[in-house]
Amino acid sequence: MDMGKWFDRKFDFNFGADAYAAIYQRLKKAPDILQQLVLHLPEPMLVQQPHCKWSIKEHAGHLSVLEPVWRVRWHDILEKKPVLTAADLNNAATNEAGFNRYSISSLVERFLDERSQSLALLDGVDVLDESLTSMHPRLQQPMRVIDLASFVADHDEHHLGAIQEIIRALREGPKMV
């Protein structure tokens, strides 16, 4: 399965409030899915950087790095800011963090802690208020709280899928032709 590039993706937020419960569950389950995927893997597999791209540990660390950005953006929407705070599209925080030196259990725990803070924020606001929107700076489309929640869940699944691809590729080894 080719995950494609995150920045090439298009998003359709044409869904109603009834979708929120499922979106919230996707957000809530992501740390558990990460844990199930990675905690049993040997260290060499966790740090290998296939095709000079991120390792499994770097993908895991990236998920936690983005959580504070998501919370700032939810606050942007709630405060009716015209444009969401921009993210670092070069991913400097991830690239410079040295996540391959961390234990995988600490990376999973960090993501769980960060996600718990995000879910607590969502638990304390009216996520279904249609009047609250801010423009996404890269996508150039307005986002409601529920839209950003869906975007974050999609982002989680993108990186969890990339981790699954790395695991599959490393287990299969080089292809014989």
pLDDT at 104: 98
pLDDT at 174: 65
- Distance from C-alpha of 14 to C-alpha of 32, rounded to nearest angstrom: 28
Q: What's the Cα-to-Cα distance from 75 to each of 46, 60, 145, rounded to whole Å?
A: 34, 24, 9
Asked whether 83 and 96 are in contact (CB, 8 A), the reply is no
pLDDT at 11: 78
Q: Length of the chain in residues, anyone?
A: 177
Q: Where are the beta strands (DSSP E) in the chain?
A: 134-135, 142-143
- Distance from C-alpha of 157 to C-alpha of 165, rounded to nearest angstrom: 12
pLDDT 10s digit of each residue in the chain, 177 long?
334 576 666 778 888 889 999 999 999 999 999 999 999 999 999 999 988 899 999 999 999 999 999 999 999 999 999 999 998 888 899 999 999 999 999 999 999 999 999 999 999 998 888 889 999 998 999 999 999 999 999 999 999 999 999 999 988 876 544
Please name the residue that has the structure tokens 């599209």.
89
Please name the residue that has the structure tokens 């991913």.
91
Q: What is the CA radius of gyration of the chain?
A: 17
Asked whether 73 and 148 are in contact (CB, 8 A), the reply is yes
pLDDT at 171: 87
pLDDT at 113: 98
List, in order of start, the domains of the chain with CATH numbers: 18-168 (1.20.120.450)
- Distance from C-alpha of 124 to C-alpha of 138, rounded to nearest angstrom: 27
Helices 56-78/20-38 angle, 10° precision: 160
pLDDT at 175: 58
